[in-house]
Amino acid sequence: MKTEDICWAGVDQLRAALRSGQLTTTQLVEILLDRIETLDPSARAFVDVYSEEARARAAECDRQPGTEALHGIPYALKDLIDVKGRRTSAGSAVFSDNIATDDAEVVSRLHRAGGVCLGKANLHEFAYGATGENKLFGTAVNAYDASRLAGGSSSGSAAAVAWGLVPFALGTDTGGSVRSPAALSGLVGLKPTYGLLPMQGVVPYSWSLDHLGILARSVSDCAAVFETLTDPKMSGQSSGGGRTQSAWASLMAGTALRGKTIGVPREFFYDNVDEEVLAATENVIDFLKRAGVSVKEVATPDLRFARTVSLTIQMPEALSFHMPWLEKRPEAYGEDFRTGLALGQQLLAEHYVRAKRSMTIYREEVDRAFETVDALITPSTPIVAPRVGTIDVSINGMTEPVGNAMMRFTNFFNTTGHPAISVPSGMHSSGLPMGVQLVGRAFGEWELFAFAQAINAESAFKLPRPAV
């Protein structure tokens, strides 16, 4: 394999090359570390690179060839996720000296699976923000246009994968912070069912809404990592159904969609969308029809107050966690996060309890929708990647804050906890990627992968490699 091809190879390709002896883990790690050294000053994907540890881990993998699912495969972690003995900054000066005393549970699983961590990825401070902008470390930027945002809050995780620095990365998703950067950066981004991936050892933002998620360049890669993280041998429990070899084969062949129905929630989720983004979503729906999928329009819950419900849960929970540091070092927090915490101080227990009740009602209403459909489809974001520093965006003559726009279609499914995945839907005339969001039943990740894989494999929705 050529060096450039290695940088863009997927998990399965790399596994095959490593197991055949075509490539050693040491060679792979050195190629990616060189690429990080060359490109990351522009990408600003990483806040810490674990060069020495990665080389030692690579040498260990080469000395002891294994059959573990991710043996020798490099990855990056959003800098909310603990690695023993290393800093977890959470993108903030507040945690500049926060050294983890143990690995996060998800890191332990990746280690047991043979993965090689290359370092920690950039993010919006404490994951509070959709843009991914960070004054402390600089802002991770889009691989397709470095004047544009990679998306947030898992900005560095998205940039690391999109710039060809790692084959996959882990992020967190509280309102769309994996799916939105995936859509804006031309990636696949999965938010699994709430609670399925353990948050132990992950700095929380809002424990009722936080999800760990996966960013990769293909559905196949995303599914491979998901399978590893939810493998009973890794986790001590099932993933809520899991998959069989035959299910994976049918998924890859596209035959898993026969007899399936996809729901189209047009109210709210198709309102005020960039014309090309909307057209791309309709093209995906037409493709699924041709593939034999039934399409059904479905009603949505009343979502007028959905964002208010989310914020009413987020801010008191964030305040509860941050109060010790806020009292001692308020000046170390960025202005936008301090403002958010101040909002949390204004909310009453009654407001929080009512919002939690609304959360339950929303989940039950979406569960009912899945009595007649197997998945839902929406645009992932109503816009393509905005320019760095954008405050407001105008869509069809209507203006809204950029962060609201970027999370408008993803946020609700953190409230309900259903699994959701963003998949590329083509290129915008601006030269930027677009994405569609697929939402599935609770613990229905493999059914969701079936829809996602069919879309991902269709040539009409494939994206060119970024010119980086």
User: 348 burial class (0-12, 13-18, 19+ CB within 10 angstroms)?
Assistant: exposed
Task: Name the pairing type of β-strands 168-173 and 211-216.
Answer: antiparallel
Active-site residue, selected from the candidate residues 89, 92, 120, 153: 153
Cite the DSSP H helix spans in 202-244. Answer: 219-230, 232-235
Nearest-angstrom CA–CA distance, 19 and 65:
8
DSSP 8-state secondary structure symbol assigned to residue 302: -
**Structure tokens, 139:** 């802002």
Q: How many Cβ atoms sit within 10 Å of the Cβ of residue 415?
A: 25
| CB 140, CB 156: distance < 8 Å | yes
At 380, the amino acid letter reads S
Residues constituting the chain: 468
- Quick check: helix, strand or coil at residue 407? helix
- Cβ neighbours of residue 304 closer than 8 Å, sequence gap 6 or more: none
Task: Map tokens 């999370």 to a residue.
Answer: 407
153 counts as catalytic: yes
Active-site residue, selected from the candidate residues 92, 157, 177, 239: 177
Task: Name the pairing type of β-strands 375-379 and 261-264.
Answer: parallel
DSSP 8-state secondary structure symbol assigned to residue 255: G
Active-site residue, selected from the candidate residues 78, 120, 191, 260: 78
Q: How many Cβ atoms sit within 10 Å of the Cβ of residue 59?
A: 14
Q: Please state whether 230 falls in left (phi above 0), alpha (psi between -120 and 50) or beta.
A: alpha
For the chain, what is the total number of helices (H) and then of strands (E)? 18, 13
DSSP 8-state secondary structure symbol assigned to residue 15: H
Residues catalogued as catalytic: 78, 153, 177
